[in-house]
Structure 1
Amino acid sequence: MSKPSRWPLTADGIRFITPHVLVKRLQNHALAKGLFVTAMGYYPTASGHAMERKGHPDHILIYCTAGSGFLTMAGKTTEINSGDIFYLPAGSQHSYQASKELPWTLYWLHFDGTLANDFCQHINIVERKFTIGVQPRVIRVFDGISHLRHSSHNLAEFIQGGHQVQALLSYIALLVQQRKPSAINTFDTENLRAMMQEHIHSKLDLDSLAEAAKLSKYHFSKKFKQVTGESPISYFINMKMQRACYLLDSTPRSVKHVASELGYHDTYYFSRLFKKNIGMAPAIYRKAKL
């Protein structure tokens, strides 16, 4: 059960709880039961704000955009600052409170659904807190979801709100992945992409890429795949195929000419690679675009 917040809601604050009857409808709707909003709020400069829970039925996501505060879970207290986001899984025991000296500004969201656990695992905030910075895109989504309080409990609007939450959680997961030191600080990914772009018209092997990253081929390939989800050579080939699409779309050059421009002197080999990556042969792709 939750203890009530000791912070009185100001005129600038927002607090909304989805009616129980509507939650039941969302739980039973094919397009909504994956993820739906159960409560939401926005607390600006929340002096005296504090909450303690021994457990709760839904998942909670809280985003600090200014000021600071403290989160306590499993006997460990963590300072929360502007740009930090923290996730509280369903059933967790926790407490949090605003700093007395510099009280935080918070967006908060309660959600549930059959996909809730999967999304929370996808975000993978191991310490329950992660710094994503003050992200205008994230704030816009929170603001958009908050408009549900004006929807007169319209089911369609709450279905759309649930899909907004899915997009928000997916984006946060991407930010978390991009900011993991083990994944992105090992080498300069932008420099590697630039190197691939410079060789888009020719060949580039794994040895050269690993040397540029100052890593062994094994460690380079492993780290590159952690960041992009693809092997370095597959990534490079995909860049070439995207360039081929551009040339087929924007120029009258023959397939043979396009293949040669991208460093493939065997047109049939190029066509096989193109079909594997794009899903159709180059000639069919061009006709489909006309």
Structure 2
Amino acid sequence: MVQSSTPLFAPKTSGDHADRFLAGLSPYVRSTHDFPTEAGFDLRPRVVSDHAFLYFKDGEGTFTVAGVDHPILPGTLFLIRPGVEHAVSPRSGSLYYMLNMHLDVVQRPGSDLLDGYQRPSAAYLRRIAPDILPDGPTGLPSVIRMPNPASYEHLFFRIHHHFAMRDPASRLRVKAGAIDLIAFLFAVGSRLDRRLGPTAEAVEAAARFIQEHASGRLGLAEIARQAAMSRSHFARSFKHHYQVSPMAYLRQVLIERAKMELMYDHRTIKHIAESLGYSTVHHFTRVFAEAVGMPPGAYREL
């Protein structure tokens, strides 16, 4: 669910400018961080000079953006643009697991020399304004609850993996990965309805249930019970909200998790298939190949 209509990218620009910007889009990723926080972690009010993509894989609390408080829940992404004050206040006893990335959405001369954590000057903000994505109908909100966190996490970890390698091929993959991630966020934003009613809230709760209990053994009847709907009504409502059926959504979650495990987990494919709830490795291989276009073993070698 999109929590706020506050745009990440400003100022407003014409469609022609947006087209010129997208034609020259070449992000510069300054840093990536994959870390669990310690007890008592907070983030004092601060302003940064680059774009900060701050994603909470786990933990609860309050995130303040430009003076507006937003709840922190697992699977929430906060998109902070240069010059916008933000802060984090954890819920008592809550520990965070965060996936963070700082970047310039358009690489400029001197991007590699900029300290993104410094407070930007007014002159700097005016200078980078032409390089910032437009807001309005084609922009991105400041707060996004991911309908499928596994997809975002896979894109992030692909960038994070290559960021640690400084060879030219890896640097190009980081840049390409950042473009993929921005495109993914636009796709997510275009699908989400900002005016949620009880049915949509029940469907989103069921989607979270899928994410938390994803397994090849999970069936439609069990998912529909989480939304307190009949299977047929739930299937129609879910597809209206997410543009895919509940079982296709479940397969997508499982495939994204399988991709991550194939990339970062050294267990055998048979063990990965079992951990994801597939009855046999042959069934897992067939489903994976249909979705990805190659078998798991070939994907692991990429």
Give the TM-score normalised by the residue count of structure 1. 0.46
Give the TM-score normalised by the residue count of structure 2. 0.45
Of the two structures, which has the highest relative contact order with CA contacts closer than 8 Å and spacing of 6 or more? 2
